[in-house]
């Protein structure tokens, strides 16, 4: 019988995302760890933004600073996520070389993992939870669970943020940059109103025993009886990596690395800038474009979803720099990266990139 180590912790969401989670991933990648389920209850409020986002365009950072809300940039993709005090992040770390793992890619993992999670919530808490592709569990059109993914070096991480207690919706709504494209297909049109939690849906308090039961039941439904949970602790390698990451990922250089303030430091006077967004099924795509003399002078592609490898947007940027400014010329270069057999961007197709390019190009030509 195969085993998944079960860990329980109470890190803030920011610390979980930027230190403890990558420490476990690294240990697995280097053969010093094991497949693990981490059940973490947040001790304080915090936000993170994904590695492919510009934090200054995802969150109102001045407001966060005023309220003392910790904001950090993760090492993995996905959108801005609020970890409310008392909510839970279940992180599943899997070595895909193990024969008992039933999925081998992010595209396979989301539909194999999230529907059983939704079904477990529905049965254990008697609420109408359902899977909303690509990566959410919703109740009545409101997000109850947000799942993100990372796949590097054959190690897959699935992180499910389960909203337990009511969050401060005013804080969320004022902190999140609510672009209209982001919410064009949602019933709720601002960041705070689109969320719900288990305590609101059930009308009662949720204790740690119920959270552990949910995690265990989800594992049973996903993996079957041949995989069991075994309680454990961090090993020595994981603790060393944790200390290293806590020191590294609190700097401004890291936090703003995908922002205009660090990437567009020398803009020619004659350059035109445009900022465009497009909502794909996977999530929100963004493009900040600098155009000069009819060509792409520079650009920043952003995403709040989960390409693999996450460096793929950087590869697309490199393919477009200096090229003639037209969709017809640029899209084949995007396609050259997109169609690489090692690239996976679930919930997008080339038409989404064409739409994004078209919007930005129209703006710089106006």
Quote the tokens at residue 132.
Answer: 């909303």
The pLDDT tens digits of the residues spanning 100-115 come to 999 999 999 999 999 9
The pLDDT tens digits of the residues spanning 331-348 come to 999 999 999 999 999 999
What is the pLDDT, as a whole number, of residue 291?
Answer: 97
What is the pLDDT, as a whole number, of residue 107?
Answer: 93
The length of the chain, given as a count of residues: 366
What is the pLDDT, as a whole number, of residue 184?
Answer: 60
| Mean pLDDT of all residues in 176-192 | 66
Other CB atoms within 10 A of residue 137 CB: 24
**Angle, CA of 92, 87 and 151, to the nearest 5°:** 25
Other CB atoms within 10 A of residue 190 CB: 15
Domain residue ranges in the chain: 2-255, 270-365
With tokens 């650009």, the residue in question is: 299
In CATH terms, are 2-255 and 270-365 the same topology?
Answer: no
> Whole-model pTM above 0.85?
no
Q: Alpha helix locations (H) across the chain?
A: 13-15, 21-29, 55-58, 61-67, 106-125, 169-175, 198-202, 208-223, 236-248, 252-255, 260-263, 312-320, 327-338, 350-365
What is the pLDDT, as a whole number, of residue 192?
Answer: 56
What is the pLDDT, as a whole number, of residue 55?
Answer: 96
| Mean pLDDT of all residues in 13-28 | 94
Cis preceding linkage at 345, omega within 30 = no
186 pLDDT tier (thresholds 50, 70, 90): low
Question: What's the CATH number of domain 270-365, 1.10.40.60, 3.30.390.50, 3.30.70.1020, 3.40.50.720?
Answer: 3.30.390.50
The pLDDT tens digits of the residues spanning 264-292 come to 998 999 999 999 999 999 999 999 999 99
Q: Give the bridge partners for 215, in sequence order.
A: none
Q: Give per-residue burial for 196-222: e unless 16+ CB within 10 Å, then b.
A: bbbbbbeeeebeeebbbebbbbbbeeb
The pLDDT tens digits of the residues spanning 85-94 come to 899 999 999 9
The pLDDT tens digits of the residues spanning 217-262 come to 999 999 999 899 999 999 999 999 999 998 889 899 999 999 999 9
3-class secondary structure, 79: coil
Q: Are 361 and 327 in contact (CB under 8 A)?
A: yes
CATH class of 2-255: alpha beta
């Amino acid at each position: 019988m195969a085993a998944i180590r079960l860990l329980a912790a109470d890190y803030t969401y920011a610390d979980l995302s930027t230190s403890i989670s990558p420490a476990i991933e690294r240990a697995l990648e280097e053969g010093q760890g094991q497949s693990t389920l981490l059940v973490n209850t947040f001790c304080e409020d915090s936000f993170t933004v994904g590695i492919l986002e510009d934090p200054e365009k995802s969150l109102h950072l001045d407001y966060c600073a005023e309220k003392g809300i910790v904001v950090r940039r993760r090492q993995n993709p996905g959108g801005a996520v609020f970890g409310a005090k008392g909510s839970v992040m279940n992180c599943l770390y899997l070595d895909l070389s193990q024969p008992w793992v039933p999925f081998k890619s992010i595209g396979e993992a989301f539909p194999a993992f999230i529907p059983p999670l939704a079904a477990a919530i529905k049965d254990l808490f008697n609420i109408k939870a359902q899977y909303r592709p690509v990566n959410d569990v919703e109740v009545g059109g409101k997000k109850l669970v947000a799942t993100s993914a990372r796949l590097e070096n054959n190690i897959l991480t699935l992180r499910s943020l389960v909203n337990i207690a009511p969050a401060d919706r005013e804080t969320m709504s004022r902190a999140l940059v609510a672009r209209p494209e982001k919410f064009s297909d949602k019933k709720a049109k601002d960041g705070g109103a689109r969320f719900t939690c288990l305590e609101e849906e059930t009308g009662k308090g949720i204790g740690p025993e119920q959270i552990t039961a949910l995690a265990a039941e989800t594992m049973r439904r996903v993996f079957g009886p041949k995989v069991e949970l075994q309680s454990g602790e961090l090993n020595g390698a994981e603790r060393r990596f944790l200390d290293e990451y806590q020191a590294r990922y609190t700097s401004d250089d890291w936090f703003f690395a995908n922002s205009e303030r660090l990437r567009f430091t020398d803009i020619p006077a004659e350059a035109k800038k445009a900022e465009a967004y497009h909502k794909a099924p996977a999530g929100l795509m963004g493009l900040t474009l600098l155009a000069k003399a009819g060509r792409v002078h520079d650009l920043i592609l952003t995403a709040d979803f989960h390409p693999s490898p996450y460096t793929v947007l950087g590869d697309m940027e490199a393919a477009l720099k200096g090229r003639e400014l037209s969709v017809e010329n640029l899209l084949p270069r995007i396609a050259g990266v997109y169609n690489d057999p090692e690239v996976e961007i679930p919930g997008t197709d080339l038409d989404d990139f064409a739409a994004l390019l078209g919007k930005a190009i129209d703006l710089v030509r106006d």
